[in-house]
A and B are shown apart, each in its own frame.
Chain A
């Protein structure tokens, strides 16, 4: 799972850096393994890592262009990526690869582009 976590973090940073090349992406959420609420809620082993990376172009935000660029970069890196229809100012990319899931969010009311990734569910945690 450590390998999965590192792979996901590296991918999110690389995609974010490619979408906004002149800014440095920031990892804003990477708490480590959590349980995916197996059986009930808090019970169960921690088997999933979720990571959030943020970047953006504060001087000239363009959320529609940003998600299309993100989808292209993800595809070029081997991900299946689809740009969802814009929903009241919410722009999104849905991406997956070998059990990893990524959501890219951009909004008409914010300059931030947020990349959220989740490692595959159901793997046994490493020691």
Chain B
């Protein structure tokens, strides 16, 4: 059996597992014994086993619709649920993004994460495959998210998956880890536990751990860390899990908004808009995934400047201070001891310098690519 055949068989086996779970739940519904959770899960699995469409060209040169089942490398339909889905052709891909979702996710929210994966794939262009990796117990509330336990446990599993991915992809293919929110902590823990990728993207990070305040602490060369923090992102400002990666001196701080765009530009604010179509935030993620690093746009805005931009008064630093105090009531949460706004500004300047001398691409200063 070829590797391609083995992969196809794995997809088929996980589809069959979902079908079996669907059948079991349907029996419960039909018997009137199903709970509300059962009914919700039945609807979720029904969606996961439905075929999806792509386009190919037939012998006459016509664009035709091709349907196939979704490609799950792993799926667990029980409890909170887990899934690892491949979007695109993994063995033939030149560029692979591994998307790691944040808190509040389960099998029942997987649609949103798969949707986000599709946006990344389209933005990154031909030859890209995206793996939506939800193989950890995503915290289901703020108190749970204050703990690092899920990140540490998930990080080990993600590190193992990255090793496994080496056997599934082309040796020449580049891998980019893309973590959002709590998912950035999972990514960080994976890298600390031996996981390797060519590039790492973090959006809206609450920090990695108390003692990590530069990329070199957990990202091994020549891998580079690319970070996005949008104006008003309260999760990044709180630094719940550690210093904000957007302030790391050796990270490349990517722009989330196009500084040259007119009023009709797609804006990215707060914690929830990094993946908006046409936004500079998503464009930069696509540039990283496809390795078009010279086209990346960067920024060096401070917390106070960002928050003043949004509400007319600076509140980012105050939020960080309050969060630092509040965090002490939670087990496993670190108080943000640094960086200060001053050091953050200095770090941003150093970040820009680091971006300018990056060896795998010359990132641009605000102003961005010609458009």
CB neighbours of A42 from chain B (8 A): 101-106, 109, 112-113, 138
Q: How would residues 23 to 49 of chain A score, 1 for a CB under 8 Å from any chain B CB and 0 otherwise? A: 110111101101111111111101000
Residue of B nearest to A29 (CB): B118
CB neighbours of B181 from chain A (8 A): 40-41
CB neighbours of A101 from chain B (8 A): 266, 276-278
* CA A42 to CA B106, docked complex, whole Å: 8
| Stretch of B11-19, B61-69, B311-319, B343-351 that contacts chain A | B61-69
Interface residues in A86-126 by Cβ distance below 8 A to B read: 87-88, 90, 92, 94, 96, 101-103, 105, 107, 109-112, 114, 116-118, 121
* CA A118 to CA B183, docked complex, whole Å: 24
The answer to whether A40 touches B235 (Cβ under 8 A) is: yes
* CA A107 to CA B183, docked complex, whole Å: 30
Interface residues in B162-205 by Cβ distance below 8 A to A read: 180-183
A65 contacts the other chain (Cβ, under 8 Å)?
no
The answer to whether A24 touches B63 (Cβ under 8 A) is: yes
CB neighbours of B180 from chain A (8 A): 37, 41
B264 contacts the other chain (Cβ, under 8 Å)?
yes
- Interface residues on chain A, number (Cβ under 8 Å): 52
The answer to whether A87 touches B112 (Cβ under 8 A) is: no
A107 to chain B minimum Cβ distance, whole angstroms, is 5
The answer to whether B278 touches A35 (Cβ under 8 A) is: no
The answer to whether A58 touches B61 (Cβ under 8 A) is: yes
CB neighbours of B111 from chain A (8 A): 31-32, 34, 46
The answer to whether A26 touches B65 (Cβ under 8 A) is: yes
| Stretch of B50-58, B210-218, B326-334 that contacts chain A | B50-58
CB neighbours of A105 from chain B (8 A): 122-123, 125
Task: Indicate the member of B105, B122, B145 with the most A CB atoms within 10 Å.
Answer: B122
The answer to whether B112 touches A34 (Cβ under 8 A) is: yes
Of the candidates B102, B125, B126, B370, the one whose C-beta lies within 8 Å of that of A40 is: B102
* CA A21 to CA B183, docked complex, whole Å: 43
Known: A41-B103, A41-B183, A85-B370. A80 touches B264 (CB 8 A): yes
The answer to whether B292 touches A88 (Cβ under 8 A) is: yes
CB neighbours of B266 from chain A (8 A): 94, 96, 101
The answer to whether B271 touches A85 (Cβ under 8 A) is: no
The answer to whether A50 touches B295 (Cβ under 8 A) is: no
A115 to chain B minimum Cβ distance, whole angstroms, is 10
Q: How would residues 72 to 89 of chain A score, 1 for a CB under 8 Å from any chain B CB and 0 otherwise? A: 000000001010110110
B115 contacts the other chain (Cβ, under 8 Å)?
yes
B345 to chain A minimum Cβ distance, whole angstroms, is 27
- Interface residues on chain B, number (Cβ under 8 Å): 51
The answer to whether A46 touches B63 (Cβ under 8 A) is: no
B47 contacts the other chain (Cβ, under 8 Å)?
yes
The answer to whether A28 touches B182 (Cβ under 8 A) is: no
CB neighbours of B125 from chain A (8 A): 90, 105, 107, 109-110
A54 to chain B minimum Cβ distance, whole angstroms, is 5
The answer to whether A88 touches B295 (Cβ under 8 A) is: yes
Known: A50-B119, A96-B264, A109-B126. A38 touches B272 (CB 8 A): yes
The answer to whether A102 touches B113 (Cβ under 8 A) is: no
CB neighbours of B295 from chain A (8 A): 87-88
CB neighbours of B102 from chain A (8 A): 40-42
Task: Indicate the member of B109, B235, B292, B295 with the most A CB atoms within 10 Å.
Answer: B109
Residue of A nearest to B182 (CB): A41
* CA A45 to CA B51, docked complex, whole Å: 25
Interface residues in B91-115 by Cβ distance below 8 A to A read: 101-106, 109, 111-115
B residues contacting A by CB (< 8 A) are: 47, 52-55, 57, 61-65, 101-106, 109, 111-115, 118-119, 122-123, 125-127, 138, 145, 180-183, 235, 264, 266, 271-273, 275-278, 292, 295, 369-371
Enumerate the 7 nearest inter-chain pairs by beta-carbon distance, A residue then B residue, closest first: A41-B102, A42-B104, A42-B105, A43-B104, A34-B112, A110-B126, A37-B272
Inter-chain pairs besides A40-B145, A46-B112, 17 sampled, C-beta below 8 Å:
A28-B52, A28-B53, A29-B118, A31-B115, A35-B112, A36-B272, A40-B181, A41-B102, A41-B180, A46-B111, A85-B369, A92-B278, A102-B277, A112-B55, A114-B122, A116-B119, A116-B122
